[in-house]
Amino acid sequence: MQDSQTLIRTAYDLAAANDIPGWVNAFTQDGTFTDMSTGVTYRGETLGDLVEIYATAFSDMHRELYRVYTSISATASLAHRMLTERNSGQRPSSTSFRSAVACSSGMVARSR
């Protein structure tokens, strides 16, 4: 079983590679991801919609996890991430976020 930090980094790498089946399978059967910018919660197969939406809207988006803080129980983590969109001929635009992630049985249970 992966530790929480490795699990979270792997899940973000899958999303960055637009590996939708891998991304969906990184979550528990009842796992959810809440997009805090829209308030929409994705679960099950709709988790893949989130990757498709961001890949379409931001075709050259780069995700980078700077730090992942894990609780003593290793079931809750806080990920500090940076999203950078590069538009041709323009300076890159970056936004920093913090995400709360709960892990269960080596999979993502909730992220927001």
What are the chain's domains? 4-111 (3.10.450.50)
Measured at the CA of 58, the angle between CA 79 and CA 17, to 5 degrees, comes to: 60
pLDDT at 44: 93
CA–CA–CA angle 100, 95, 83 (5° rounding):
75
Please report, in tens digits, the pLDDT of each residue of the chain (112 residues total).
567 778 888 888 898 889 999 999 999 899 888 887 788 999 999 999 988 988 887 777 666 676 677 765 655 555 555 555 555 556 555 555 566 777 777 777 777 6
Model-wide pTM > 0.85: no
88: tokens are 């041709």
What is the pLDDT, as a whole number, of residue 93? 58
Q: What's at 99, amino acid-wise? A: S
8 A C-beta contact, residue 42 and residue 105: no
